[in-house]
Amino acid sequence: MRIIVVGCGKVGETITEQLIKEGHDISVVDNDPDVVEDITNNLDVLGVVGNGASHEVLLEAGLEQADLLIAVTDQDELNLLCCLIGKKAGGCRTIARVRNPVYNKEIDVIKEELGLSLTINPEFAAAREMSRILRLPSAIKVDTFAKGRVELLKVRLPEGSVLDGCPLMEINARTRSEVLVCAVERGDEVIIPNGRFVLAAGDKISIVASADNGRIFFSRIGVDMHRVRNCLIVGGGTIAYYLAMMLEKAGIAVTIIEKDKERCEELSELLENTVIICGDATDKKILIEEGLPTADSFVTLTGIDEANIFMSLYARSCSKAKLITKVNRINFDEIMGAFDLDTIIHPKKITAEIIVTYVRAVQNSMGSNIETLYDIIEDKVEAMEFIMRGDTKATGIPLAQLPTRDNVLIACISRGRQIIIPNGQTVIQEGDSVIVVTTQQGVQDFSDLLK
């Protein structure tokens, strides 16, 4: 597809990198010539310097041939205007980044009236993922499929676990629960295992199960899955606001520490049941005074990655709290694995996943479509959901006879209200929602997974 990305900040650059990996023809637009020069030097893209809301600039970027325009500048109004011009003058699909909480409440109306294909709010999406994790705090990551009926949960096997030394083929018998282990991280190694694979304490395992079976499984391997009762958040930005709002609705007590007095006053007006503390959380005395040693969860959301990391490390030393650390720079990932920081959130990666899912779905107007996509292990393993429509070679054949490529695992099938953990005799039917875990990159259609 020919795609124009307006705005080359952190989110725009991440989206551009991912779409290039998918094989798309990308043009980028930004007002800052240094930013455009930097991204064109590093990536195979056409760069245009100018205002993305200018018809002339968009024409220079290839609007007349574009299939999709993605506007992700740091100004909501500019993004919406870019998309309006792209829709009216170019006739292409449009995606707008809309961050302001005021617009977020009216997003359905905005989307319909402006003819937007998709709106994306990186801060809201990040807060939603954090909220899911805090409801299942022992999980490192929580993703959902089949409209929430199926969960993909990542957890570290504790020392003394009943699964230490257990072959995968014996798991369901040992735990009396119906789950499927679809990926294992052991040190730097990532494995899509078969039934003979033997688990070990310290492994990070990703499992697919219905919501009920997932909780039964974790309780029987000694992992506490009760949601947190309270949350201490450092940083009072937009993500903190959205997260506090979600946790308030879930009945979880929230405290936010923010050093900007004016922002504290704003949050006090917006959040009725959240305690707002004006102070510098890099001072450990404040963290202690506000209850870090006894907190159920601790979330660092400042705009400085290093501060978030160091505060989480300090919390690990003096607390048993569930830790969530926001990190913007993905190039920290190689060293982050050396720290025991529970869950690390990259808002821009979440945004890129949502947009790539949409782009892949647009390309598949026939056959089976990708409905949901998650990067479950840092650019190494993807989990994706297909709705099996139309004529496909995958239906009506037992899975044992289905010629899938290497490192492809059919992890779950949702059929109506029924959740099926498949075996070799399971047959995919038209209309099924099929969840697949694979190391194959750039999958566009279910047929790409077959030999």
Phi and psi angles of residue 374, each rounded to the nearest 5 degrees, phi first: -135, 135
CATH of domain 127-220: 3.30.70.1450
Q: List, for the chain, all residue ranges whose pLDDT scores fall below the cut of 70.
A: 330-338, 363-369, 390-392
pLDDT tens digits, one per residue of 118-147: 899 989 999 999 998 898 888 888 888 887
Q: How far apart are CA 17 and CA 23, in angstroms?
A: 10
Residue intervals of the chain classified under CATH 3.40.50.720 are: 2-120, 230-345
Q: Which helix (H) or strand (E) holds 176?
A: none
Say how many C-beta atoms besides its own lie within 10 A of residue 397's C-beta.
12
Q: In the prediction, which pLDDT does 390 show?
A: 63
pTM: 0.80
pLDDT tens digits, one per residue of 294-343: 999 999 999 999 999 999 999 999 999 999 999 987 666 556 666 778 88
H-state helical runs in 64-146: 76-85, 101-104, 107-114, 122-135
User: In the structure encoding, which two tokens stand for residue 444, read together?
Assistant: 């566009």
Is 3.40.50.720 the CATH classification of the domain at 230-345? yes
Q: In the prediction, which pLDDT does 393 show?
A: 78
Phi and psi angles of residue 70, each rounded to the nearest 5 degrees, phi first: -120, 115
Q: In the prediction, which pLDDT does 330 show?
A: 63
User: In the structure encoding, which two tokens stand for residue 9, read together?
Assistant: 């900040």
Say how many C-beta atoms besides its own lie within 10 A of residue 10's C-beta.
18
CATH T-level fold of 2-120: Rossmann fold (3.40.50)
CATH T-level fold of 367-449: Alpha-Beta Plaits (3.30.70)
Q: In the prediction, which pLDDT does 206 show?
A: 93
Q: In the prediction, which pLDDT does 367 show?
A: 42
